Amino acid sequence: MSFNGAVTEEESEQRIPIIVFGLEGYAEKSCGGWGFYGKWASHTGYRHTHGSELDKEGLQHLAKELYREQSTLCYLIGDEHKEFGWKKVRINMHGHVEIRLPQWADTSIKDALSSLGVCMSCPSNCYWVFPSDVELYQAKEVLEPLLQPNTRFADETDLARKLSENFPSSELGFRETQLSLF
């Protein structure tokens, strides 16, 4: 990348555009392999693979495999190593209920969470925390649309709508209604 942030001609030749089931991204040759960039690459939007002998067709095939690996997952990201169960909703070290969004999360999801009183606690890891009086079971009830299998690549505007619609019927929504009556 040049000093002004523009992509140089040499760099654009190294970037190979890839579209996987409508999701745009690209592959880029890197030291000892390929870097894949796009939602389908991982929850961070990046994945590195070793091996440099891949043609355009091979890169497309590998990108589809990365997509398939994630497509069955729920929207929320786990917080621990896979062998520990990838807890999607957990209690953090401060005693607050905490979740993790994908790095590429849409503003509609973030806005829906903010409207429920959930705040971003760590921008670099995309952690969000509920108010201190929210219990784990209550958060899971509200977050049910984001915990469903096969929602990793679902329409985020639709997920945000479902999240907002789910809130009034949850115990948290009922509690809010009761408090507002006083």
Q: What does the pLDDT look like over 51-102, one tens digit per residue?
A: 777 889 999 999 999 999 989 989 998 765 555 555 789 999 999 999 999 9
In this prediction, residue 35 carries a pLDDT of: 95
Supply the pLDDT for residue 167.
75
Mean pLDDT by 10 residues, the chain (182 residues): 47 81 94 92 92 86 94 82 67 94 95 93 94 92 93 96 80 46 38
Which distant-in-sequence residues (6+ apart) come within 8 Å of 169 by Cβ?
none
